[in-house]
């Protein structure tokens, strides 16, 4: 035990290095696969160039922000009496770098795996699946490994250099760095991918009457680039941040002694890191379970995929029990952690129930498409709103169980438990866009129809498993944000050791109430900006595509090639420009509020703005963003699948009036589910982690 | 002063009787007007029969609920040690009756004024306007008078029969009764009106290609009935409840001494009633300012209408200052009340800015319609989300100013101030549906096109002024709910006399946090049910209309009359059936939660559910419902006006692709702005007032 306690960081470090090696091995395997004929390589190269150009531009813009924030953090550490450590700035830079790197490697792998998936799918379904799944595995493993690597190195460093509470306080900077990159990556990538998608569809499918991914559509490369920068890189940074933040929240609450007896402070900090380390190893091993025989049917493949995920969950659950008992943390902590794991599965199931066309809600939605676009949009909105109830009940149950079992620390380990199987769930999630891209390349390279059919089958397989991944993402976001808020509030007021904060506030204090209102409106403002950006960028692309059809003669009969680069350029420019405002709002709001609190101490301003305003804002944003995020994600997913359900030949099939109505629903759902919705997950954690980072400024002493 | 203090109830009583007399006089004048030719009378009679049949059915259903709730209240007053008075049940029945009566009289007047407006408009625009505006005046005056009458009579009675705190506690029953009816009226009427509207449009305009209100459309009478039972009767019960609840909240907080020095307890209770009484008289007088010269242009009419509202606001502001000084309540109370008045005007202005086509947001929305239905829906959603920011800032500012000026009592009088001009603002709001109906009758009776043009002009005039009314409704709902919540929490914990509640809670208590989540999800569940009901009922109507077109030969060439009654019957059945669940959820949720709290005292359940859960639920619902309500109302309003903007000849005009896209937006917006959105206003107050009514059960003693 003592050995494990003392060397947990080293063990986590070794596990993360193993993970990196495994990811490198998988990547090498992917690169060794056949990359297809010249035409395929040419298309893939265009997608690679577009994606790389976008990410360069994005990171350049974000780099400025990182510099500014780092400078501010450094300055704050030099303010007289400041208890904020200079190491917070170091952690921030490290977190930002690691998050960016996770996204970049994910993208790098995906844009190389896509064409190789096409080439492999030209031979067999199973071959294609293996390449695409390997790409997802690289992504899942990289995200988890980099997060664990960063946290373990910094933790080893900080615990040697700083007093315990200052060490965890500085560690929060790592989460802050990761979250800052994530919000820009999600918003920027989300705007790019959905604007290109909507823009390409609007002119291509609706006006010119050419199918999706047709090489004659000038926006088709931009659409494929979007899958890689939004769905792959954006998701990578996003989940990197979720994972890191949940561990940091647990470590912080353990250090503060919330929910643990004093002798368990160290064990409480080590426990989440070891769960993550074990989860990482189990995840890697489970990917081997996924491989199926060469002649497997699709049902078998889905079964194999599911078996992998369930096996990983079972093993992780066993590991949680064993680790909890080894460290003598008691059944309370174990129950709290397991409640998170179970809660994540339940939310994933709810997501699947409301968005998959094998269940009633989405089936009813596709039937309603016969009533026209208006009805299908109304019904989809209602479905999205209705679908918030079950996840809320799950979050409520997990919160009550976790806090009853082991106080606020319980909430944090519940989030860690939810994300413990991230490696493999992310792998099953992230291979979807690769399969999608592979199909696009097959179409553009005029390969045999059977290839596209195989990639479509892979894509739909991914959609089913992705629902579970989304459930984990959204549930863990709520639990992590709650844990971070708890850490912030506990840090403000001091640790009590009895598992409950003693920050009593007057619930009718106007500052608290107005804080709630301000927090609740932030997700609306944020989503509005993101959706407006998608609409605006899509409009620009529509105009450019129309112009090319008009001015470049011969596009439609295939004698002239459209100017793909220009559409890529427009999407890039517009997405980068428009991701700034929502991102900056998210980062700056808590900082400005905190400054107002400090400025207002002891004078008239303090009567209107106080620490309670900040607390209200955090809680208001958490609750409001969670509802909106679930609503948008599920409505968007249901519209998407209702459209696919009709395309599969139901209610009139492709080209029917019902299909046209469903396409409108899907268009509305695109920015819901892939831009605004997932960004909200990050928003609520970003607000919470910024508050945690600046907590030492608000309290008299660091974390006390 | 002493005289005023002692006789304020009598003064309020007299003012309300004057109001009733004035409304009666106006109604007699309306009935004396020409009701047009036989065909017109016949159509009007069909609308009357349909509306009356619906309201009979609705009230029958609601009557059962009233019986059940009354029985429960009576039972609770007999529970040993219960401090809930039997008079609460009496107040509940009175409130329910008065609310139902206000809605019924509004409907009764409107279905008689509509055809008379058509007849008058056949002669002159001004004549038509006068009849329609008189109908709005009856409604506005009746609502305000009945609320004030009920409160003053009960207050006179209760203060003689009961100790002071029990008297105000019982008075809350009046608000509860009004709110219970209001939620059913809004939801039931809202489902009816929008389902009939959407259903009629979908088949009529889109499939059969016949214009709105065409007599060949079997759903056209149902559509007109809907305007009266939803927009008129529903709004009547709704605003009756707002008005009554705001006064009750102020009286309760004054009785509890929140924000007032002990010697001002009585003055604080009398002040809101006298503001209401003076506001009623001023409102009646201001309606005379509205009448314009026979040859006035529309701009002049709008000017006249606005002058009426602004004059009323100015006079009420002066009355607030005078009354505040007379009762020596101090400038704090005066400032708080005025802040509400100003806040209401500001939110009204924001509503107008975001929804009127004379401003950029709605203009940009109509431009985006050229991009297709998907884009216009995305953009409208974004507009709705964005538009929540300004009203939130206004509510935040009013709350901070009001509480800084005079504590929680300040919040309540801010709501009273916001609603003080309700008589006239409601008059300008409620005449819209009458003008709309008048146009429908003109169309169906094949009157000259000029008549329809005049009623359309009146309708659009109403749309502009209605925005202000909606601002008052939504802003006052938030302030009233906040005041009711404050009254509930103060009642639980006891009055302190220093203007601040002393209910300190642990903000990280899992029960509080989970309460917030549960409260926040309620508006989503509620809206989902309301919108699903609209979609479902609209589908039934669509099928019936299609059946009639198919089976009744000669409808399209005008040789056979469609079966209007069946469409009316289907809308009625379906709306009544589907209003039950959301209404019952709203009423029962706080009651069940309170029962759980009581059951859980001192045992394991209490660890998971406590009074803090209930408080969290109230606050979570308030914040969440406010956001959703503003978003839905403004998105719906903007889509409606964007469609009208295009119909006025912009971006391709009627029949263009942009117009078709805008029609989809409008279809989505209908249940947003007229069913779910306004129902949410009531939901948040209903939860709060139910809690206030059952507060004596939760505390050891009544209101302490």
Q: Is the pLDDT of residue A700 over 60?
A: no
For residue A566, report the phi and psi dihedrals to the nearest 5 degrees.
-65, -40
Q: Who among A392, A399, A531 is closest to B521 (CB)?
A: A392
Cα distances (Å, whole numbers) of residue B23 to B16, B20, B142, B437: 10, 5, 6, 21
**Is residue B203 a contact partner of residue B222, using CB atoms and an 8 Å limit?**
no
Interface test with A, best of B510, B627, B630, B673 (most A CBs within 10 A): B510
Nearest by CB to A518, which of B392, B411, B619?
Answer: B392
Q: How many CB atoms within 10 Å of residue B42?
A: 14
**φ/ψ (deg, to 5) at A211:** -70, 170
Answer whether residue A498 shows pLDDT above 70: no
Distance (Å, whole) CA A371 – CA A599: 57
* Contact call for B501 and A507, based on CB within 8 A: yes
User: Which is higher by pLDDT, A81 or B389?
Assistant: B389
Neighboring chain B residues of A539 at a CB cutoff of 8 Å: 368, 371, 375
Considering only the beta carbons, identify the residue of B377, B504, B624 that sits closest to A520: B624
CA–CA distance, A116 with A121 (Å, rounded to integer): 8
Q: Is A476 left (phi over 0), alpha (psi -120 to 50) or beta?
A: alpha
- Establish if A331 touches chain B: CB-CB under 8 angstroms: no
Measure CB to CB from residue A623 to each of B202, B386, B520 and give the nearest one. B520
Contact at CB, B527 and A382, closer than 8 angstroms:
yes
- Read off the pLDDT of residues A353-385 as tens digits, 9 standing for 90 and up: 999 888 999 999 999 998 889 999 999 999 999
d(CA A340, CA A476): 8
- Please judge whether B514 and A378 are an interchain contact, meaning their C-beta atoms are less than 8 angstroms apart: no
- Close Cβ partners of B42 (under 8 Å, ≥ 6 residues apart): none
**What's the CA angle centered on A155, arms A421 and A703, to 5 degrees?**
105
Task: Say how far residue B686 (Cα) sits from the centre of its chain.
Answer: 12
Where is A506: in which H helix or E strand? strand A504-506
User: How far away is chain A from the Cα of B501, in angstroms, using its nearest Cα?
Assistant: 7
What is the residue-wise DSSP string for A452-481? HHHHHHHHHHHHHHHHHHHHHHHHHHHHHH
Write out chain B residues lying below 8 Å of A518, CB-based. 392, 396
Residues on chain B touching A512 (C-beta within 8 angstroms): 507
E runs forming strands in B445-532? 504-506
Q: Compute the nearest-CA separation of B389 from chain A (Å).
A: 6
Find the CB nearest A399 among B504, B513, B520: B513
With CA atoms as reference, the chain A residue closest to B484 would be: A508
Cβ distance A521 to B627 less than 8 Å, yes or no, reads yes
Residue A703 has pLDDT above 50, yes or no: no
Provide the pLDDT for residue B401.
96
Q: Which two tokens stand for residue B339?
A: 């802040």
Residues of chain B contacting residue A643, judged by C-beta atoms under 8 Å apart: none
When mean pLDDT is compared across A327-336, A416-425, B65-74, B255-264, the lowest value belongs to B255-264
B507 close to A (CB below 8 A): yes
- Substitution target in A258, A389, A535 with the highest count of B β-carbons within 10 Å is A535
Q: Residue B201's closest chain A neighbor by CA?
A: A374
* Chain A hits for B206, Cβ within 8 Å: 372
Place of tokens 């709105």: B212
Scan residues 71-90 of B and list those with Cβ closer than 8 Å to A. none
Half-sphere CA count of B675, side-chain side, radius 13 A: 37
Give the 3-state DSSP-derived string for A162-201, with helices as H, strands as E and coil as C.
Answer: CCHHHHHHHHHHHHHHHHHHHHHHHHHHHHHHHHHHHHHH
- Picking from B21, B16, B99, B20, the residue whose alpha carbon sits closest to that of residue B58 is B99
Q: Are B152 and B9 in contact (CB under 8 A)?
A: yes
**Residue A556 pLDDT class (50, 70, 90 cuts):** confident
A581 at B interface, C-beta within 8 A: no
User: Encoding tokens for residue A395?
Assistant: 């979050």
* Separation CA B635–CA A173 (nearest Å): 39
Query: Is B535 within 8 Å of A395 when comparing Cβ atoms?
Result: no
The chain B residue lying nearest A528, using CA atoms, is B382
Q: Which residues of B touch A626 (CB under 8 A)?
A: 517, 520
DSSP H helices, B256-388, are 265-290, 298-326, 330-355, 360-368, 373-386
Sequence-ordered list of residues with C-beta below 8 angstroms from that of A536, at least 6 positions apart, any chain? A195, A574, A578
Mutation target among B207, B347, B368, B381 for the A interface, most CBs of A within 10 A:
B381
Q: Are B334 and B324 in contact (CB under 8 A)?
A: yes
Q: Which residue of A lies nearest to B509 if distances are taken between CA atoms?
A: A500
A395 touching B (Cβ < 8 Å): yes
At A237 the pLDDT is 87
Answer yes or no: are the C-beta atoms of B109 and B52 closer than 8 Å: no
Q: Do B534 and A403 make contact, defined as CB atoms within 8 angstroms? A: no
Q: Which of A505, A521, A531 sits opposite B507 (nearest CB)?
A: A505
> Residue B370 gets which letter from DSSP?
G
Is the Cβ pair A624, B626 closer than 8 Å? no
Spatial distance between the Cα atoms of B213 and B447, rounded to a whole number of angstroms: 12
Cβ-based contacts of B509 with chain A (< 8 Å):
500
| Higher pLDDT, residue A411 or A700 | A411
Calculate how close chain B gets to A374, using CA atoms only, in Å.
Answer: 5
Contacts of B504 in chain A (CB under 8 A): 504-507
A571-587 pLDDT tens trace: 898 999 998 999 889 88
* Chain A touched by B543 (CB under 8 Å): no
How many Å apart are CA A265 and CA A255, to the nearest integer? 6
The reply to whether residue A385 touches residue B528, judged by beta carbons under 8 angstroms, is yes
Go through A627-663 and write b for each residue having 16 or more CB atoms within 10 A of its CB, e for each that does not: bbbbbbbbbbbbbbbbbbbbbeebbeeeebebbbbbb
Does B343 contact chain A (CB < 8 Å)?
Answer: no
- CB distance from B399 to chain A under 8 Å? yes
> Is the per-residue pLDDT at A206 higher than 80?
no
User: Would the ipTM clear 0.95, i.e. be above it?
Assistant: no
Residue A262: how many other CB atoms lie within 10 Å: 8
Who contacts A229 (Cβ-Cβ below 8 Å, separation ≥6)?
A: A51, A54, A55, A58, A107, A188, A189, A192, A193
As beta bridge partners, residue B505 has A505
- Is the pTM higher than 0.90? The answer reads yes
Task: Report the distance separating Cα A95 and Cα A151, nearest Å.
Answer: 9
Q: What is the DSSP string of A344-357?
A: HHHHHHHHHHHH-T
Rounded to a whole number of angstroms, the distance from the CA of A362 to the nearest CA of chain B is: 14
Q: Are A273 and A247 in contact (CB under 8 A)?
A: yes
CA nearest to B440, candidates B215, B235, B218, B640 = B215
pLDDT at A111: 94
First to last CA, chain B: 30
Under the banding of pLDDT at 50, 70 and 90, the label for residue A297 is low
- Whole-angstrom distance, CA of residue B189 vs CA of residue B182: 10
Measured from the Cβ of residue A449, the count of other Cβ atoms closer than 10 Å reads 9
Nearest CA in chain B to A361: B532
Flag whether residue A509 sits within 8 Å of chain B, measured between CB atoms.
yes
Of A434, A619, A436, A628, which Cα lies nearest the Cα of A530? A628
Q: Tell me which residues of chain B have a pLDDT lower than 50.
A: 495-501, 700-704
Give the pLDDT score at B85: 85
Pairing relation of β-strands A504-506 and B504-506?
Answer: antiparallel
Do residue B535 and residue A379 have CB atoms under 8 angstroms apart?
yes
B504 strand-pairing partners:
A506
A–B: how many Cβ contacts below 8 A?
Answer: 256
C-alpha B338/C-alpha B314 separation (Å) is 10
Q: How far are the Cα atoms of A642, B288, B413, B597, B607 from residue A396, in angstroms, in the given order?
A: 30, 56, 35, 16, 13
Interface check B456 vs A, CB under 8 A: no
Please state the length of chain A: 704
From chain B, the residues in CB contact with A627 under 8 A are 520-521, 524, 624
**What is the C-alpha to C-alpha distance for residues A37 and A452, in angstroms, rounded to an integer?**
16
- pLDDT for position B295: 62
Using alpha carbons, list the distances in angstroms from residue B704 to B55, B83, B254: 40, 10, 14
Residues 188-207 of chain A with CB under 8 A from chain B are 198, 202, 206
B374 reaches A (C-beta below 8 A)? yes
* Minimum distance, in Å, between the CA of residue B403 and any CA atom of chain A: 7
Of A500, A521, A608, the CB nearest to B400: A608
Q: How far apart are CA B139 and CA B141, in angstroms?
A: 6
Q: Count Cβ atoms below 10 Å from residue B38 Cβ, excluding itself.
A: 9
């Amino acid at each position: 035990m003592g050995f494990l306690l003392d060397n947990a960081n080293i063990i986590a470090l070794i596990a993360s290095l193993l993970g990196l090696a495994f990811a490198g091995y998988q990547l090498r395997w992917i690169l060794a696969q056949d990359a297809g004929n010249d035409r395929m390589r040419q298309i893939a190269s265009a997608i690679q160039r577009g994606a790389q150009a976008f990410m360069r531009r994005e990171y350049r813009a974000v780099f400025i922000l990182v510099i500014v924030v780092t400078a501010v953090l450094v300055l704050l550490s030099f303010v007289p009496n400041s208890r904020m450590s200079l190491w917070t700035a170091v952690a921030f830079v490290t977190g930002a770098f690691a998050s960016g790197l996770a996204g970049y490697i994910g993208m790098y792998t995906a844009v190389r795996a896509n064409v190789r998936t096409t080439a492999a799918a030209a031979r067999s379904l199973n071959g294609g699946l293996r390449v695409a799944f390997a790409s997802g595995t690289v992504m899942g493993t990289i995200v988890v490994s980099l997060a664990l690597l960063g946290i373990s190195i910094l933790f080893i460093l900080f615990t040697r250099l700083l007093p315990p509470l200052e060490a965890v306080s500085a560690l929060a900077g790592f989460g802050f760095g990761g979250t800052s990159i994530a919000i820009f990556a999600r918003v920027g990538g989300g705007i790019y991918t959905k604007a290109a998608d909507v823009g390409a569809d609007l002119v291509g499918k609706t006006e010119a009457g050419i199918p999706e991914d047709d090489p004659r559509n000038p926006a088709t490369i931009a659409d494929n680039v979007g899958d890689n920068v939004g769905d792959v890189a954006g998701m990578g940074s996003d989940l990197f941040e979720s994972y890191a933040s949940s561990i940091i929240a647990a470590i912080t609450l353990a250090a503060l002694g919330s929910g643990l007896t004093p002798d368990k402070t160290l064990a409480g900090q080590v426990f989440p890191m070891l769960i993550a380390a074990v989860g990482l190893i189990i995840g890697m091993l489970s990917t081997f379970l996924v491989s199926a025989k060469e002649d497997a049917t699709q049902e078998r493949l889905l079964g194999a995929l599911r078996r992998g995920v369930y096996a990983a969950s079972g093993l992780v659950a066993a590991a949680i029990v064993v680790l909890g008992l080894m460290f003598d943390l008691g059944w309370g902590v174990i129950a709290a952690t397991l409640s998170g794991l179970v809660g994540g599965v339940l939310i994933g199931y709810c997501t699947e129930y409301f968005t998959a066309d094998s269940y009633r809600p989405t089936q009813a939605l596709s039937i309603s498409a016969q009533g026209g676009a208006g009805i299908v949009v109304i019904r989809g909105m209602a479905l999205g709103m209705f679908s918030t109830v079950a996840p809320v009940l799950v979050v409520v149950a997990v919160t009550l169980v976790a806090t009853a079992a082991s106080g606020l620390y319980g909430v944090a380990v519940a989030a860690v438990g939810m994300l413990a199987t991230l490696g493999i769930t992310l792998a099953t999630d992230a291979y979807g866009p690769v399969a999608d891209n592979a199909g696009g390349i097959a179409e553009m390279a005029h390969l045999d129809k059977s290839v596209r059919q195989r990639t479509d089958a892979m894509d739909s397989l991914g959609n089913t498993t992705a629902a579970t991944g989304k459930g984990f993402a959204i549930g863990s976001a709520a639990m992590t944000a709650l844990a971070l808020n708890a850490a912030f509030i506990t840090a403000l007021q001091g640790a009590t050791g009895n598992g409950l904060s003693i920050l009593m506030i007057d619930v009718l204090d106007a500052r608290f109430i107005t804080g709630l209102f301000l927090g609740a409106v932030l997700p609306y403002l944020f989503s509005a900006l993101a959706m407006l950006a998608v609409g605006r960028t899509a409009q620009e692309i529509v105009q450019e595509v129309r112009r090319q059809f008009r001015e470049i003669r011969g596009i439609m009969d295939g004698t002239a090639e459209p100017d793909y680069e220009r559409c890529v350029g427009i999407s890039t420019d517009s997405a980068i420009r428009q991701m700034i405002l929502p991102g900056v709002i998210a980062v700056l709001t808590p900082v400005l509020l905190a400054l107002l609190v400090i400025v207002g101490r002891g004078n008239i301003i303090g009567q209107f703005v106080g620490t309670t305003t900040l607390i209200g804002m955090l809680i208001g944003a958490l609750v409001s963003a969670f509802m909106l995020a679930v609503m948008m994600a599920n409505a968007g997913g249901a519209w998407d699948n209702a459209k696919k359900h009709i395309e599969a030949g139901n209610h009139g099939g492709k080209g029917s009036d019902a299909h046209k109505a469903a396409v409108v629903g899907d268009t509305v759902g695109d920015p819901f589910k892939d831009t605004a919705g997932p960004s909200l997950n990050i928003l609520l954690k970003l607000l919470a982690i910024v508050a945690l980072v600046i907590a030492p400024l608000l309290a008299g002493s660091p974390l006390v």
